[in-house]
Homo-oligomer: A and B are copies of this chain.
Amino acid sequence: MPRTSNKVERLMEAAKELIHQQGYNQTTLADIAQKSGVPLGNVYYYFKTKDEIAAAVIEEYRQAVLKVLSDVDANEPDPRQRLLWFIKRMSGHKDEVATHGCPVGSLCQELNKDATSLAKRADDIIKFEVKWAADQFKLMGRKDAMDLAVQLIATLQGVSLLANAMKSSGLIGKQLARLQEWIEEM
């Protein structure tokens, strides 16, 4: 499977957008083919099933999170500053999140209702973020690091859900500022 193929990239991009905008179950391989401009007959050459393309999309999200967090670990020695930066990062996606929800969180929520192994893959991204945040709180000397980490990631996920339900990107800005204040005062 030539992963470097331009067609694979176009298919992945289309799948990512469609799954985020209309959900996994409402997206067909035919939709993905049409959006990407790759003929459906050709899609099967790269991805046998919709599950296969979803697994690839989830893996791309996972790699992106791993990269972003290892970059901040490498470039910023202060755990508090790392957490502040992680929170700030979400403000760059405000409008997208208010319109369609968090791409990872909403996919998790959807896949956990299906009885497939895809859910576990999506869940792992959330778990990784929680673990990373707990590591930072530990470095800050907090004994309740794990609970703080769950609280932080849960709040970010909940803010995404409420911004989406209330169609308000302004809500995200306000809540991120509150979270930053919480971390600063810690």
Question: How many residues of A are in contact with the other chain, CB < 8 A?
Answer: 40
The answer to whether residues A112 and B155 also contact, given A23-B25, A150-B175 and a CB cut-off of 8 A, is no
* Chain A, range 125-158, C-beta contacts under 8 Å to B: 126-127, 130, 147, 150-151, 153-158
Question: Chain copies in the assembly?
Answer: 2
User: Which of A47-55, A57-65, A99-107 touches B?
Assistant: A99-107
User: Which of A6-14, A36-44, A82-90, A161-169 touches B?
Assistant: A161-169
Shortest Cβ distance from A25 into chain B, in angstroms? 5
The answer to whether residues A113 and B100 also contact, given A108-B165, A147-B175 and a CB cut-off of 8 A, is yes
Report yes or no: B154 in contact with A162, Cβ–Cβ below 8 A: yes
* Chain A, range 71-120, C-beta contacts under 8 Å to B: 100-101, 105-106, 108-110, 112-114
A174 within 8 A of B: yes
Report yes or no: B23 in contact with A130, Cβ–Cβ below 8 A: no
Report yes or no: B113 in contact with A106, Cβ–Cβ below 8 A: yes
Shortest Cβ distance from A166 into chain B, in angstroms? 6
User: Which of A151, A155, A161 has the most chain B CB atoms inside 10 A of its CB?
Assistant: A161
Shortest Cβ distance from A170 into chain B, in angstroms? 10
> Pick the contact of A109 from B147, B154, B164, B174 — CB < 8 Å?
B164
> Chain A's interface: helix, strand, loop or mixed, by majority?
helix
- Residues of B contacting A147 with CB < 8 Å? 174-175, 178
* Separation of A130 and B26 alpha carbons in the complex (Å): 29
A171 within 8 A of B: yes
8 pairs of residues in contact across A and B, judged by CB atoms under 8 Å: A22-B114, A26-B113, A100-B112, A101-B109, A101-B112, A109-B161, A127-B166, A150-B174
Known contacts A21-B113, A26-B114, A126-B161; 5 further A-B pairs (Cβ under 8 A): A22-B114, A25-B25, A100-B112, A105-B109, A155-B158
